[in-house]
Amino acid sequence: MIPDNAFIFNMIATPINQTLIKIKIPFKMIYFNTSLKKTDPDLIPRICLSDGGKIPVIGLGTFGSDSVEPETVAATIRKALLAGYRHIDCASVYGNEKNIGHILHEIFKSRIICRDDLWITSKLWNDKHNDVAESCRKSLSDLQVEYLDLYLVHWPFPNFHPPKCDVTTRNPNAKPYIHDNYMNTWRQMESLVENGLVKRIGTSNMTIPKLKLLLRDAKIKPAFNEMELHPHFQQPELFSYCLDNDIQPIAYCPLGSPGRPERDRTLEDTVDLEDQVIIEIAERYQVTPAQVAIKWAIQRGQIPIPFSVNHFYENIEAALKFTLSDRDMKDIVQIDKNCRLIKGQVFLWKDNQNWEDLWDIDGEIKQ
C-alpha cells in the first residue's frame, strides 16, 4: 500500500526489481515506478565548451505552450530525468519553475542525480531587465538550486505580454531595442557570473546586428544564443555567425513547434514533420520524422530542446539511435523555407509595424 503522501518517481524496469521499489529518506518514503524506458545518460554526447564545461547535445524544454499545466510539465521533467535527460531549459515566464523545483529537490535529496551532473538553464524575462539579480535569485529559489549553468536574456526588448494573450496584444510601454539599455542589463548579467550565481550567460532571440554590438561592448561574452532553428527555418547566416564567434546555438522549436500557442500561428506557416524529404529519411532509417529533425540538429551542431509530454524518450533516443549520412544532411539543407514560426508580434512597439521589424531583416536595427 503506497501512502497518500508518498512521492512517486518513474524508473526503468529490470528483471530483478518489482513494479515499485522504495528508498527511505528523512521524513518521506519515495517510491519509484519501474515501467519507463531509460537511456544511460553517460552515453549522450556532450559538447565541450571553451571554459571546460560540457553540455548534453539534447535538452528538454519546459514551455508548455500555454496549454500544458505546470504540474504536468514538472511531472514530465521527473520522468525525463529518470529516463536519462541531463539538460533542462527553463524560464521564469513559463510559470512552472516552482513546480520543477519541487521535483529537483526530491531527486537531489534522494541522490538519484547529483546537481553537478545536471545542466539547468533559466532566462530573464522582459519585465526584469532592470532587476536582473532579483529575477535570477527568484529562479534559483523556485528551482531550489544554488547556481544555474546558464542564464539567458530571453528577448532583447523590455516589452512583455500577459500569459495566454492573443496576437493583437501590445505593451503600452513597449520600446525598440536600445543598445545602451541592453548593455545596462548585460552588465547586471555579468555580475551574476562574478558573484557565482550563474556559470555562464547568454542571449536569446538575437540578430547579427544586435550581437555585433554586444560582442563589441561586453566584458563577458555570451556563451550561448538560443534561437528558433528547425529544418524549415535554418537561419544559416546567424547560425554561422554564432559559431564563428564561439557562441553555441541552442535550438528552440526544433520540431517546428506543432504545439505552439495560437498567437504564433499564421496561414503561411509550413510543417517540417510533413515534409516529404523528412518523411523519406525517417522511413529509410525506420525512425520518426521528429527523430530525424532532432538528429539533423545535433549533427549540424545546434542543441535541440524539444518539449513533449509523451515522446520525450523517443526524442532523446534520437541522439543515439542512428546517424544521418552526408547526403541526408545536404538534402535537409535544401528544404529550408525561411519559415519563422515565433514571429513575436506581441513585442512590437509602434502601430502598423510588421513583425519583421523585430528581426533586423535588412541588417539594420529598427527604431
Residue 357 to residue 364: CA distance in whole angstroms: 9
One-letter amino acid of 309: V
Residues 148 and 197 in one domain: yes
Would you say residue 180 lies in a domain? yes
Residues 213 and 96 in one domain: yes
Residues 29 and 163 in one domain: no
Mean pLDDT along residues 37-62: 95
- Percentage with pLDDT > 90 across the chain: 80
Residues 10 and 152 in one domain: no
Would you say residue 363 lies in a domain? no
Tell how many helices (H) and how many strands (E) occur in the chain: 10, 13
Kindly compute the dihedral angle of the four CA atoms of residues 216, 219, 220, 222, in this order, to the nearest 10 degrees: -20
167 vs 222, more confident = 222
pTM: 0.90
- Percentage with pLDDT > 70 across the chain: 90
Give pLDDT, residue 65. 65
Which residue from 97, 93, 102, 87 is spatially nearest to 44, judged by alpha carbons? 87
Residues 135 and 172 in one domain: yes
Would you say residue 92 lies in a domain? yes
Residues 234 and 278 in one domain: yes
Residues 158 and 172 in one domain: yes
| 35 pLDDT above the threshold of 50 | yes
Which bin fits 44, alpha (ψ -120 to 50), beta or left (φ > 0)?
Answer: beta
The helix or strand, by DSSP H or E, that contains position 276, with its residue range, turns out to be: helix 276-285
320-350 pLDDT, tens digit per residue, is: 999 999 999 999 999 999 999 999 999 999 9
Residues that are catalytic? 94
Cell numbers of 293, please?
Answer: 529533425
Would you say residue 366 lies in a domain? no
30 vs 79, more confident = 79
Q: Residues with Cβ < 8 Å from 96, sequence gap 6 or more? A: 62, 64, 70, 73, 74, 90
Place of cell 539567458: 152
| 5 pLDDT above the threshold of 80 | no
Residues 158 and 14 in one domain: no
CATH number of the CATH domain containing 84: 3.20.20.100
Q: How confident is the model at residue 4 (pLDDT cuts 50, 70, 90)?
A: very low
Q: How confident is the model at residue 268 (pLDDT cuts 50, 70, 90)?
A: confident
Give pLDDT, residue 163. 78
Count structural domains, the chain. Answer: 2
| Mean pLDDT of all residues belonging to the chain | 90
* Domain carrying residue 10: 1-36
Residues 17 and 128 in one domain: no
306-317 pLDDT, tens digit per residue, is: 999 999 999 999
Would you say residue 214 lies in a domain? yes
Would you say residue 365 lies in a domain? no
Sheet order of strands, 7-12 included: 7-12, 28-36, 20-25
Residues 6 and 108 in one domain: no
Would you say residue 334 lies in a domain? yes
209-245 pLDDT, tens digit per residue, is: 999 999 999 999 999 999 999 999 999 999 999 999 9
The helix or strand, by DSSP H or E, that contains position 9, with its residue range, turns out to be: strand 7-12
One-letter amino acid of 335: I
Residues 258 and 117 in one domain: yes
Would you say residue 284 lies in a domain? yes
3-state secondary structure of 212: helix
Residues 30 and 106 in one domain: no
